């Protein structure tokens, strides 16, 4: 039964066998033709078909119809609209990637726009300020300005001076610790708006060893905290507060005489 | 398909105009061979109102080994008229097949036929054509 059906199918394929070999792309057709290639009946059929196809090719195409094919823009290419281009998944994916990359570049550019020597350390210390609890510090009840002597005498830290803008504020506690680069950091907790002060070595030129100075106060921001940093005698001072620049700005204006 | 070059040209132009319009509007159908299917339906539509050939039992003969020489005597227009006089879907099958542009699967798609149907239509068409050729150009060695 299966054999009969297969033979019937092969016969059906042979009746539809292409006139030229270029159309023998179909595997089943190729197989049917190769099996019947030598049969007289199939050879006659092929000769008959070829003769008729040659005759058909002699039918001339009217000039008016032939003109359609001489025109370059027979079918005008459909104009691509912005909408269709934007909806293209490839365009969408590339645009998203470009926007993300551009966003990262802009973010990095803007965040480094106000960079200054020591800004990276200052940002790290803002993170420390956010995670510090008062019990971690040695209780000290004094004016902040007086702690410079303590840092020098107890820890041997020279020029760890508190700027005059913050020297008069009362302290709650202080400590000296080493950061992950073994730099010695002094941290002071003030009672004033629970502000924290940091003193740390200023950055130096890697070749000459000279201190990389910068004038005035510079702001840094990290995790909701804002720091105002200044450098003096190779030591950076940072006042850190939870909030924005406007919360720190009033402390940085020189006191009126 | 039509056996009338004027009608064929009209349908050709109408089909291409439709295609150009659709392309300009950007709503070209996605399926393959829609243009040929469209042209075929237009041809069938155009011949609907024409006088229809009487359905008569046509002679059939096996394809002869020397049929090639008989075909050589034939005028292309005669062949076109013979094919256009065949009832559809045999007319579509023969026209598409002898254009030598489509393989059998494409013809099945355009003419909306099954393989067994296309096979029968082509085989019968060949045998009828052979009988017609024999009547038109009798071979001297045939009785």
- In this structure, are A124 and A50 located in the same domain? no
Among A40, A48, A81, the residue to mutate for chain B (most B Cβ within 10 A): A48
* pLDDT higher at A165 or B48: A165
User: Once rounded to an integer, what is the mean pLDDT over residues A71-79?
Assistant: 54
Contact A16, A5 (CB under 8 A): no
CB atoms within 10 A of CB A215: 8
Domain-ending residue, one of A61, A83, A98: A61
User: Once rounded to an integer, what is the mean pLDDT over residues A121-146?
Assistant: 91
Detail the DSSP E strand segments found in chain A.
Answer: 138-139, 171-178, 184-190, 196-201, 218-222, 225-232, 235-242
Whether A171 is covered by a domain: the verdict is: yes
How does pLDDT run across A6-63, given as a tens digit for each residue? 888 888 888 888 887 766 777 888 888 888 877 888 888 888 888 888 888 887 777 7
Please choose, from the candidates A126, A188, A133, the residue with its C-alpha nearest in 3D space to the C-alpha of residue A161. A188
Residue B52 has pLDDT above 70, yes or no: no
Residue A143 has pLDDT above 90, yes or no: yes
- Using the beta-carbon criterion (under 8 Å), do B65 and A76 form an inter-chain contact? no
Residue A97 has pLDDT above 80, yes or no: yes
Whether A99 is covered by a domain: the verdict is: no
User: Once rounded to an integer, what is the mean pLDDT over residues A100-119?
Assistant: 85
Mean pLDDT of chain B: 82
When pLDDT is cut at 50, 70 and 90, the band that residue A199 belongs to is very high
* Residue A242 pLDDT: 93
* Residue B26 pLDDT: 82
Residue B143 has pLDDT above 70, yes or no: no
Whether A100 is covered by a domain: the verdict is: no
User: Once rounded to an integer, what is the mean pLDDT over residues A239-254?
Assistant: 88
User: Once rounded to an integer, what is the mean pLDDT over residues A54-79?
Assistant: 67
Q: In this complex, which of B5, B64, B97 lies closest to A44 when CB atoms are compared?
A: B64
Whether A50 is covered by a domain: the verdict is: yes
Q: Which residue of B has its CA nearest to A55?
A: B76
- In this structure, are A36 and A162 located in the same domain? no
Q: Which residue of A has its CA nearest to B107?
A: A16
Whether A136 is covered by a domain: the verdict is: yes
* Residue A257 pLDDT: 46
Contact A38, A14 (CB under 8 A): no
* Structure-token pair, residue B117: 């149907």
* Residue B78 pLDDT: 84
User: Once rounded to an integer, what is the mean pLDDT over residues A216-244?
Assistant: 92
- In this structure, are A41 and A118 located in the same domain? no
* pLDDT higher at A41 or A236: A236
The domain total for chain A is 2
- In this structure, are A39 and A162 located in the same domain? no
Single pTM value for the model: 0.50
Q: Of all residues in chain A, what percent carry a pLDDT higher than 90?
A: 36
When pLDDT is cut at 50, 70 and 90, the band that residue A76 belongs to is low
Q: Which domain holds residue A199?
A: 110-252
Contact B138, B69 (CB under 8 A): no
Residue B53 has pLDDT above 80, yes or no: no
How does pLDDT run across A156-165, given as a tens digit for each residue? 999 999 999 9
- In this structure, are A162 and A240 located in the same domain? yes
- Contacts (Cβ under 8 Å, ≥6 apart) of A183: A121, A200, A201
Whether A67 is covered by a domain: the verdict is: no
User: Once rounded to an integer, what is the mean pLDDT over residues A143-158?
Assistant: 92
- Using the beta-carbon criterion (under 8 Å), do A20 and B100 form an inter-chain contact? yes
* Residue B55 pLDDT: 64
Chain A residue numbers with beta carbons less than 8 Å from the beta carbon of B62 are 41
* Structure-token pair, residue A36: 């019947």
* pLDDT higher at A19 or A142: A142
* Residue A68 pLDDT: 67
- The residues of A whose Cβ lies within 8 A of any Cβ of B are 9, 11-13, 15-20, 23, 25-26, 29, 40-41, 44-45, 47-59, 62, 64-65, 68, 74-79
Instruction: State phi, psi for A155 to the nearest 5 degrees.
Output: -115, -5
- Using the beta-carbon criterion (under 8 Å), do A78 and B23 form an inter-chain contact? yes
- In this structure, are A246 and A182 located in the same domain? yes
* Residue A57 pLDDT: 83
Question: ipTM of this model?
Answer: 0.83
- SS3 call for A111: helix
Question: Any chain A CB within 8 A of the CB of B81?
Answer: no
- Using the beta-carbon criterion (under 8 Å), do B119 and A16 form an inter-chain contact? yes
Residue B25 has pLDDT above 70, yes or no: yes
Q: In this complex, which of A12, A49, A50 lies closest to B115 when CB atoms are compared?
A: A12
- Using the beta-carbon criterion (under 8 Å), do A51 and B107 form an inter-chain contact? no
User: Once rounded to an integer, what is the mean pLDDT over residues A158-186?
Assistant: 92
CB atoms within 10 A of CB A152: 14
How does pLDDT run across A202-212, given as a tens digit for each residue? 999 888 889 89
Mean pLDDT of chain A: 85
């Amino acid at each position: 039964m299966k054999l009969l059906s297969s033979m019937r199918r092969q016969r059906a394929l042979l009746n539809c066998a292409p006139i030229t070999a270029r159309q023998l792309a179909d595997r089943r057709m190729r197989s049917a033709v190769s099996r019947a290639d030598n049969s007289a009946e199939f050879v006659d059929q092929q000769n008959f078909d070829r003769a008729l196809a040659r005759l058909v090719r002699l039918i001339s195409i009217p000039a008016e119809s032939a003109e359609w094919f001489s025109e370059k823009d027979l079918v005008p290419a459909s104009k691509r609209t912005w909408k269709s281009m934007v909806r293209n998944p490839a365009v969408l994916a590339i645009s998203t990637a470009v926007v993300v990359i551009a966003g990262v570049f802009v973010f990095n550019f803007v965040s480094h726009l106000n960079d200054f020597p020591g800004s990276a350390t200052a940002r790290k210390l803002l993170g420390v300020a956010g995670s510090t609890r008062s019990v971690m510090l040695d209780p000290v009840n004094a004016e902040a300005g007086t702690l410079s002597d303590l840092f020098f005498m107890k820890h041997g830290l020279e020029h760890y001076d508190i700027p005059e803008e913050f020297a008069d504020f009362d302290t709650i506690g202080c400590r000296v610790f080493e950061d992950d680069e073994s730099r010695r950091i002094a941290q002071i907790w003030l009672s004033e708006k629970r502000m924290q002060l940091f003193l740390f070595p200023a950055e130096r030129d890697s070749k000459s060893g000279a201190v990389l100075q910068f004038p005035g106060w510079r702001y840094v921001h990290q995790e909701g905290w804002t720091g105002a940093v200044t450098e003096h005698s190779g030591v950076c001072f940072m006042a850190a507060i939870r909030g924005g620049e406007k919360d720190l700005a009033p402390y940085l204006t020189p006191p009126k005489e | 398909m039509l056996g009338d070059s004027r009608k064929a040209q009209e349908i050709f132009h109408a089909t291409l105009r439709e295609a150009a319009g659709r392309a300009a509007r950007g709503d070209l159908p996605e399926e393959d061979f829609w243009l040929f299917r469209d042209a075929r339906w237009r041809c069938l539509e155009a011949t609907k109102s024409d006088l229809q050939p009487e359905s008569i039992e046509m002679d059939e003969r096996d394809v002869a080994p020397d049929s090639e020489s008989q075909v050589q005597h034939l005028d292309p227009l005669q062949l076109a008229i013979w094919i256009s006089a065949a009832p559809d879907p045999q007319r579509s099958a023969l026209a598409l097949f002898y254009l030598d542009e489509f393989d059998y699967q494409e013809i099945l798609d355009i003419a909306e036929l099954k393989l067994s149907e296309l096979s029968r239509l082509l085989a019968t068409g060949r045998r009828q054509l052979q009988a017609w050729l024999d009547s038109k150009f009798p071979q001297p060695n045939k009785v």
